[in-house]
Structure 1
Amino acid sequence: MTNLTTSRTRSFHVAGLLVCGSVLCGAAKLSGQDDPRKDAPEAEVPRSATRDENQTEKRPPSTRDRTVITATRSPLNPLDVPRGTTTYDAENLRELRQVRTLPEALKEAPGISVQRTGHAQGSPKIRGMTGYYTLLLVDGIRINTSIWRSGNVEYWNTIDPWAIDRMELVRGPGSLLYGSDAISGTGQVFARGPLDYVDGDDRVRTRTGLMVRMASAENSFSERAESRGRAGRLGWHAGVTYRDYGHMVAGSSIGELPYTGYHDFDVDAKVAWDLEDWRLTVGFQHVNPEGGPRTHSTVFAKPWRGTTVGSDFLRDIDQQRDMLYVRGETRFSDALRAEFTVSGQRFEESENRVRSNSRRRITEAEVDQLGVQARFALDLAKGSTLSFGVEGWFEGVDSSFREFNPDGSLRSTRLRGAVADDAAYDRVGLYAQLEQDLGERWHLIVGGRGEYTEADADQVDPDGTNGWLPVHRSWRSLVGSVSLRYDASENLRFFGNVHQGFRTPNLADLTRLDVALSGDLEIPSTTLDPERFLTFELGSKYDDGLRRAAITGFFRQGKDLIDRLPTGRIVDGNTEVTKANVNSGYWTGFEFEAATALDFVTVDGTTLDSFEVYAFGDFVSGIMDGIDPADARRIRARKLPPPSGQLGMRWVEPRAQRLTAEFFARAALNVDASEYNAAEIRNTERIPPDGSPSWVTYNVRTRYRISDALSLALSVENITNTDYRIFDSGLNEPGTNVMFTLSATF
């Protein structure tokens, strides 16, 4: 395996260097030519994109040329969405910010803290919650499965950020439209697709893209090649991405972090056929991050501010996600639109762990998911639209556990892995939502959802001696939601929302048998019921094309919350815990963002309208009932991130808008050790026992479009080489990180 990996890595690096050389040699020629796309019709922008990824960003960056779909399942201008939202297009992700992974694409969004257990694992905390309290979609298809955990998860890393046209993040509940798990936020990515169909245009049109990215502190080299095309009614897209990471380098006092490298190989494709009355789409994705270490639990971890070093000799995680779907879109009449989707996904995960006794444990899980969706939108009258649909998600889960002696011989096996083997988890949901104009200024959105969930797991007890019975459970959930928006003027909106939400216990809740946190051993809990949430939101948005601002405040109450309880037993040095519906609590907070062009500032007779100053920040607080015998007081919600924010200035060269430059500072406050709950006190491998310090980083980035076909991006993050750690992470963030990206389109 090592030789094969080394050979494949070397071949991709050689290919990347050849691409760099050929592209740079042709740069002068390309810069002197006309845009190779100028003869193509404007409608070639992908149907899922808001604009072409090579279109230069206008200043100031008003949201008026964008749309948000995830919040209501219908396209709306962000100003008109009665929710806190963030959107990114391909240009922002790939060139301007040079993002490495999908979770890190969200680190500059208000209300989000991106935790990293390891270099290959990232989990966004949205409004103070993460894991299965957040929902992730790709082209409307659920990535969440029944093995997602309550805490930090690695599954957001199974999306290639270079393979998407647009990303949307909606903060707050989404159970009405998407069912269980959509409690604190919903993220959706729209995969890259073919060039759009233009009626009457039967030409064969193609567009090829090449990308190379290098980063110093990540010790990384990444490359991508893709091609998009159209021949009359038939369109296609295909892309391949490879990333290789060596040992990461943290800030000045820590330096190189050994045992942090991994590699990632991804493939994506999409075919679209535009008929007279139908649009048929077939999409495919293969994502395969391999060898991602959880360094914090190993002897290779470096202590920081009192954190403890793990005892494992090795702990790697391999992941693979394969998705194939077929979608049909049509209009049955001028008033009725419909979309039908059948999808299949396979998720594979394997953990290779060598404990301090030199015994190797290999734990594997495989989830096969079938999805069926039917969605409709009916225009009842002017200003009135009814959206409704039905969807089903059906999962089969297999798992295994093997332990080997130090000499490689098989020591033992179990009848199951971290979750129950030979298990099934199915859910069917129906929803309806009415969008109604109440005159010219008032707008109402109201709806409801019913969902039925069933869990079956025969192999819960790993050896038949623990008394854990098979699981045969079912639950019914019914929720409603209402949103009211007031248009105070053309540029100003006020809104208020009341959302019910629910999260049904999954197989990770009911049947998990594995180590959690830094030293808890979680055992099955087969009698759980759904968690219930009620969220209130108030907010306002403003956008006049030169200035924009938004603020949203929320209060979320949770009942019948599932939490871990110590059983009083110590097993192999770990504290045994089980789960129960024993908790309740609330979260409250706000997010804000604001930006303004400096059109009101004049220097030597020149107006600085090509400059923009922006800021955003967030705060979330949560109080939970004390259910831990070691800490019975009402306590701070577990793993709650501290307040954070960003302040920056951006400049776009005003004439041709080819050059963009930006300076910004990111910061987060400290978490005092006196605020830790019992679980955080025990989690000494990740959380400094004397408190998590505040931090600030200074950063600069620039992008220069040499021609309409070639661009260069250069960024320097953490200029002062500060040592810092995102709260609850398993390792420190990179030190001074110089990033370079070369993008070419032919």
Structure 2
Amino acid sequence: MKYSNKIKGIALIISFIFSTALFGQEIQVKDIVNDRNISNVGVYNADQSKGGITNAYGKIDISMFSDDEKITFQHISYLPSTKTKAEILQNKNIVYLIRSSDELSEIVISASKWQQNKKEVPKKIVSISSQDIAYSSPQTAADLLEKSGKIFVQKSQLGGGSPMIRGFSTNRLLLSVDGVRMNNAIFRGGNIQNVISIDPFNVNNTEVILGPGSVIYGSDAVGGVMNFYTKTPKLSWNEETIFSGSAGLRYASVNTEKTGHIDFNIGIKKWAFLTSISHSDFDDLRMGKNGDDAYLRPEYVTTINGEDAVVANGNPLIQKFTGYSQLNVAQRIKLVPDDIWEFDLGLHYSTTSNFPRYDRLLQYRDGSLRYGDWHYGPQKWFMGNFQTQKKGNNTYYDNVKFTNAYQRFEESRNSRLFQDVILNVTEEKVDAISSNLDFEKTFNPKTKVFYGLEYVYNKVHSNAFDRNIDTGEVTAAPSRYPDGATWQSMAAYASLEYKLNPKFTIQSGLRYNHILIDTDFDTTFFPFPFTEATTNTGAFTGSVGFSWLPKNWQITANIGTAFRAPNIDDIGKVFDSEPGSVVVPNPNLTPEHAYSAEFGIQKRIGSSFDLNFTAFYTILDDALIRKDFSLNGETEILYNGELSNVQAIQNASKVFTYGFEFGFVAKFNKQTKITADLTIPRGEEEQADGTKVPLRHISPIFGNVHFIYKNERLKFDIFTNYNGSITYENLAPSERSKAYLYATDDNGNPYAPSWFTLNAKSSFEITDKINLTASLENITDQRYRTYSSGITAPGRNLILGLNYDF
């Protein structure tokens, strides 16, 4: 009898194990955009008699449900989804959720480098989703930012785009790609174009922190942080191999753009591979017909029988020598061996053709065009990024990321005066190595800590020569930067998120950053009174803020400090900043420090109206500004054969920026809504005598209004973009000297006129896999030039895009 009972017991155990293996069905819930696991998803049937929540890895067993039973998946940050168990199993045990369009429900990463609910972050963050990017169909990553309607972008040429945020730009804004700092030691105070190296077709989503971000990101994050997250490889999570991808074409009439893109993903259970390739070709840009004649291109320089000659432009609306081409290639590889470890390798390469510095080609001297040639050589960027992520549940962390990256930047400047045979060439290369170790630890439901370490090393290679275009003879010339100069940054940071209650969250942080610079100066061409410069300096930055969520409100406030340490461009550059001026090195520089405050309100009225308002104020002390200078007691020196005023970057100013940002969304029904945004920035620079002058990188008032209709397959948007004017009195002194960029007022002074455009765009899903986009921008064919830009904006522009998902 005992023996029989043992047999029955063993049989029962075997039966239980067999049935569990056969019928136990574990599934995974993931974000459809970035393939991330989603924890704490509610999973239940129609009457909620059965259910549960996904674990930390987004997994849950659904064997409790029958095959034809409808299962609902619900999470605060995602749209609800209902599927039958059979459908889920047919989809290889994966359920994808779509992030909610409710802005407060969004998940953001930028504020701490880890996922956070946007409603708990006390800073204003602009989120641009993959759906937004696909719909806006941007030509470059700079256009991607501009089309958000919340970021102002300046352009010196077609192959460019320099964002301005709250009165700051260029090296006071930080660029990041997949968590890796893109700013390098020669990011300059003038407009920079590096953002176009990022392929908009390979960007999964973008987050922009409006305001300081130095606690998490260190030097340069004074005015804001722009984070680009590229597409992520997707695994199959079972033994089958999945293959997916997309192909797209884009055409724009205004510069005869021809862009092609393809990406494809191969995923198996533990490995995934994603390849992305894009190529664009742009002809010369056409401006609009209706506007100020000051922006026309009446003539240009060309070479006839080996000599420069000025010829009339057959069509003054065509901006001669603005076209260029660009290639972007990316490869990402992901390995997930188990539920604890994840490895990710990202390789990115971008290169352009030569492209002219268009604003320099517009300059005149003694009644004739100043330059016979001025172009950038190919702008090249390579990044190799290897990231290791580990989940844990111990005393020190719940999650840890170790990111190691190598970047290589290459650029050159090639200039030749009109009817001169000497082409001056400067070539720059930067090798950048960075390591980041970031931790996340949740101590209890109220307390979470983010902390980490960072090391960055940059080495600058700079070379210059003069080439005789007739004879080919090459002679040495002064380089733009001290060759072999190095820049290093070491930092440690910690940030605390504390939920006083479910509706009130406090976030604070502290960072220490130490900067080392080592440069040797060549005195062959200039008798500098120094042969080397070293910097050994540190800075503490901190912030504290709160997010309060009373019913139908979000109220945020944040105060903090930020800093920017001088880099090689500040300390060691030699270049002609503008006609008649030359910038020389200044080794006696210290960091500039920012002190900022921000207050924001978001109010939901009923179920159909959202209103938001943000006020900001920043003081930048010891600001690094280009000012008149003397070299060996001389205020003028001979540079490139021309007597030039001597200038240098100096800790010579205090800068004040402030302003307001408004926005609203009014929903009439599920299909129709109106959105609007308006940004009002202001800023001054305090001089040594206490007087204040307008700040160079303060954009005009800008905004937009969109009327949007959307159903299951069609989305249609009629919108207007608006920029206010900047009078001569409100132009920065450095801009007043660039009259060739601006229109002329009644007194003969340069100024930036106001402008607006009327536009329409649409998207139609022909099938579940084929999507067509069509836009008509600047319908009334306005001729205008965005503030501080060297190139006139596009005229009427028909844009067509076709995308196929496979």
TM-score tier by shorter-chain length is 0.7 to 0.9
Equivalent residue, structure 1, for 2:581: 520
Q: State the alpha-carbon separation in 2 of the partners of residues 352 and 695 from structure 1.
A: 34
Q: Say whether 1:719 aligns with 2:774.
A: no
| 1:673 correspondence with 2:673 | no
Q: 2:247 aligns with which of 210, 214, 231?
A: 210
Q: Give the aligned partner of residue 177 of structure 1.
A: 216
Q: Distance in 1 between matches of 2:152 and 2:163?
A: 6
The answer for the alignment partner of 1:646 in structure 2 is 704
Q: Deviations over 1:622-663 (max 9, x none)?
A: 1211259xxx8311112321101001100002xxx1100000
Q: Aligned to 2:161, what secondary structure does the other structure show?
A: strand
1:586 maps to which residue? 656
Instruction: Give the fraction of aligned pairs with identical amino acids, expressed as a percent.
Output: 22
Taking structure 1 as reference, are residues 461 and 499 closer, same or farther at Cα in structure 2, changes over 3 Å only?
farther
Whole-angstrom CA distance in 2 between matches of 1:208 and 1:59: 21
Report the Cα distance in structure 2 between the residues aligned to 1:524 and 1:51, rounded to whole angstroms.
Answer: 53
Task: For 1:64-103, list aligned pairs within 5 A.
Answer: 66-94=106-134, 96-103=135-142
1:467 aligned counterpart, secondary structure: coil
Residue number in structure 2 paired with 1:326: 386
Structure 1, unaligned stretches of length 5 or more? Answer: 1-38, 600-608
Per the TM alignment, residue 462 of structure 1 is displaced from its structure 2 partner at its CA by 5.2
Which of 430, 445, 448 is residue 382 of structure 1 equivalent to?
445
Shift of 1:584: 0.5
Partner of 2:65: none
Q: CA deviation at 1:377?
A: 0.7
Shift of 1:562: 1.2
Report what 1:12 is aligned to: none
Listed as ranges, the matches of 1:588-667 within 5 Å are: 588-599=658-669, 609-627=670-688, 633-653=691-711, 657-667=712-722
**Do residues 298 (structure 1) and 356 (structure 2) align?**
no
Distance in 2 between residues matched to 1:462 and 1:132, nearest whole Å = 29
Task: Give the structure 1 partner of residue 34 of structure 2.
Answer: 46
Aligned counterparts of 2:716 and 2:494: Cα–Cα separation in 1: 45
Q: Does 397-406 or 109-118 show the bigger shift?
A: 109-118
Structure 1 pair 583/460, CA: closer, same or farther in 2 (3 Å)?
A: farther
How far the C-alpha of 1:370 sits from its partner, in A, is 0.8
Q: 1:557 corresponds to which residue?
A: 619
- Going from structure 1 to structure 2, the CA distance change for 1:314 and 1:45 (only over 3 Å counts) comes to closer
- SS at 1:421's partner residue? coil
The answer as to 2:486 corresponding to 1:424 is yes
The verdict on how the C-alpha distance between 1:510 and 1:720 changes in structure 2, with shifts beyond 3 A counting, is same
Question: What do residues 684-722 of structure 1 show as CA deviations (whole Å, max 9, x unaligned)?
Answer: 232344311000000000000001110100000000000
Q: 1:190 aligns with which of 229, 232, 238?
A: 229
Residue 737 (structure 1) aligned with residue 797 (structure 2): yes
Displacement after TM superposition at 1:438 (Å): 1.2
Say if 1:79 and 1:542, in contact at 8 Å, map to a contact too: no
Q: Which amino acid aligns with 2:636?
A: R
Q: Secondary structure at the match of 1:242?
A: strand
Say if 1:178 and 1:686 are closer, same or farther in 2 by CA, change over 3 A: same
| 1:446-476 CA distance string (max 9 Å, x none) | 1100011101111354536333421121111
Q: 1:492-529 deviations in whole A, cap 9, x for unaligned?
A: 11011111111000000000101224553111111100
1:407 maps to a residue whose letter is D
Alpha carbons 2:371, 2:416 under 8 Å: kept: no
Compute the displacement of 1:737 (Å): 0.6
Cα shift at 1:428: 0.7
Aligned counterpart, 1:466: 528
**Closer, same or farther in 2 for the Cα pair 1:580/1:41, shift >3 Å?**
closer
SS in 2 for 1:313: strand
Q: How far 1:88 moved relative to its partner?
A: 1.3
Alpha carbons 2:32, 2:96 under 8 Å: kept = no
Bigger Rg, which one: 2
1:443 aligns with 2:505: yes
Q: 3-state SS of the aligned residue for 2:379?
A: strand
SS of equivalent residue, structure 2 residue 116: coil
- SS of aligned partner of 1:339: strand
Structure 1's 41 and 340: CA in aligned 2 closer, same or farther, altered over 3 A?
Answer: closer
Give 3-state SS (helix, strand or coil) of 1:619's partner. strand
CA contact (8 A) 2:99 2:106 kept: no
| Kept in 2: contact 1:342–1:371 (CA 8 A) | yes
Note the C-alpha offset of 1:273: 0.5
Match of 1:371 in 2: 434
Partner of 1:456: 518
1:612 deviates by: 0.6
User: Does the 8 Å CA contact 1:60/1:545 hold for their aligned counterparts?
Assistant: no
Provide closer, same or farther for how the CA distance between residues 394 and 58 of structure 1 changes in structure 2, counting only shifts above 3 A: closer
Higher normalized contact order (CA 8 Å, seq sep 6+, divided by chain length): 1
Report the equivalent of 1:603: none
3-state SS, counterpart of residue 137 of structure 1: strand
Which residue of the other structure, out of 280, 289, 297, is the alignment partner of 1:252? 289
**How much does 1:228 deviate?**
1.0
Change (3 A) 1:87 1:580: same
In structure 2, the residue matched to 1:20 is none
SS of corresponding position for 1:595: strand
The match for 1:219 is 256
Q: Distance in 2 between matches of 1:76 and 1:162?
A: 26
Q: Deviations over 1:386-409 (max 9, x none)?
A: 110001011111010011124143
Once residues 338 and 308 of structure 1 are traced to their aligned partners in structure 2, the CA distance between those partners, rounded to angstroms, is 61
User: Partner amino acid for 1:240?
Assistant: I
Instruction: Go from structure 1 to structure 2 and tell me whether the alpha carbon gap of 1:522 and 1:71 turns closer, same or farther (over 3 Å shift).
Output: same
Q: In the alignment, is the contact (CA less than 8 A) between 1:318 and 1:351 conserved in 2?
A: no
Q: CA deviation at 1:44?
A: 5.9
The letter for the 2-side match of 1:588 is: Y
Task: Judge which range, 398-407 or 438-447, deviates more.
Answer: 438-447
TM-score by length of 1: 0.87
Inter-partner Cα distance in structure 2 for 1:68 and 1:519: 47
Amino acid at match of 2:430: V
**Alpha-carbon distance in 1 for matches of 2:213, 2:685:** 22
Q: How does 1:276-355 map to 2 (within 5 A)?
A: 276=338, 277-298=340-361, 310-333=370-393, 336-355=398-417
- Using the size of structure 2 for normalisation, the TM-score is 0.81
The alpha carbon displacement at 1:582 in A equals 1.0
Deviation at 1:411, TM superposition (A): 4.6
Kindly provide the CA deviation profile for residues 273-305 of structure 1, in whole angstroms up to 9, marking residues without a partner as x.
001220000101001122121112125x799xx
Contact 1:114 1:123 in 2 (8 A): yes
**By how many angstroms is 1:197 displaced?**
5.2
**Closer/same/farther in 2, CA of residues 385 and 113 from structure 1, 3 Å limit:** same
Partner of 2:602: 541
Q: Distance in 2 between matches of 1:462 and 1:385?
A: 56
Contact 1:110-1:592 at 8 Å conserved across structures = no
Q: Verify the 8 A CA contact 1:108 1:646 in the aligned structure 2.
A: no
Instruction: Name the CA shift for 1:59/1:693 in 2 (closer, same or farther; >3 Å).
Output: farther
In structure 2, the gaps of 5 or more residues are: 1-26, 38-76, 80-94, 291-295, 297-316, 630-634, 744-748
Match of 1:434 among 491, 496, 502: 496
CA distance in 1, matches of 2:650, 2:114: 38
